[in-house]
Amino acid sequence: MSKETADKDIVVLLHGIGHTMWNMALMERRLKREGYKTLNLSYPSRKYRIEALSIWLGERLERQGVWARGQKVHFVTHSMGGLVTQHYLETNKNSIPQGRLGRVVMLGPPNGGSEVADFLHKMRLYKWVFGPAGQELTTLVRAGIRITPWYELGVIAGTRSWMYPLAAVTMKKRANDGCVTVDSTKIDGMKEHITLPLLHGFMGWNRAAQRQTASFLKTGRFTHGG
């Protein structure tokens, strides 16, 4: 391995509930073109609670030797992947090597929960499809969680919902991406927030989202209008 390759910052990508690493494949490709090394993970999002998934993430990063490589480590997440990453970074802030954590970009994170989850979470099919973590995505559960990021966090929210019929019922006229309202993506202590005309499930596929993500990782800023 050349020194140039070894010195590249690494970006850990984490998908949302019910998806796999392929949901972040186009984002990964863009970040590789930007010069980053990547670790795009599939994790058992439907099998465990968020706390257990954050432990899974920590164990996987340890096996991969991510923190032992000497370069900055950034995170790019979609939907619940942001909550898993948030929990991991909060519970490990004293063990992550000083100065090694880079920036974090979250696409459509349900920081304040999802009204769609409120509507569906007691239904048997929902419980079977989304598992224990799906029960933690309601607005009531998320309202009881107060985590302030100690890292530079940029959040991208979507404003298109035509593909999700329940959005009109559960979120009415509030701006949303079909699963999460714009307001729900926000969190106290974030550095930047931007909205784009995106559907929830396809945020990582969108070129504008990819450009904005690359901008924040490099500069700590979105391009707002770019």
Instruction: Summarize pLDDT for 86-143 with one digit per residue, the tens.
Output: 999 999 999 999 999 999 999 999 999 999 999 999 999 999 999 999 999 999 999 9
Pairing of strands 101-107, 37-41: unpaired
Residue pair 81/14 in contact (Cβ under 8 Å)? The answer is yes
212 has a pLDDT exceeding 70: yes
In what side-by-side order are the strands of the sheet with 152-158? 37-41, 10-14, 73-78, 101-107, 152-158, 192-196
Spatial separation of the C-alpha atoms in residues 169 and 119, rounded to whole Å: 9
Spatial separation of the C-alpha atoms in residues 91 and 87, rounded to whole Å: 6
Band of pLDDT at residue 225, cut at 50, 70 and 90: low
- The DSSP call for residue 56 is H
Residue pair 46/133 in contact (Cβ under 8 Å)? The answer is yes
Note the CATH number of domain 3-219: 3.40.50.1820
Q: What is the mean pLDDT of residues 186-214?
A: 97
Angle between helix axes 50-64 and 80-91 (nearest 10 degrees) is 70
5 has a pLDDT exceeding 50: no
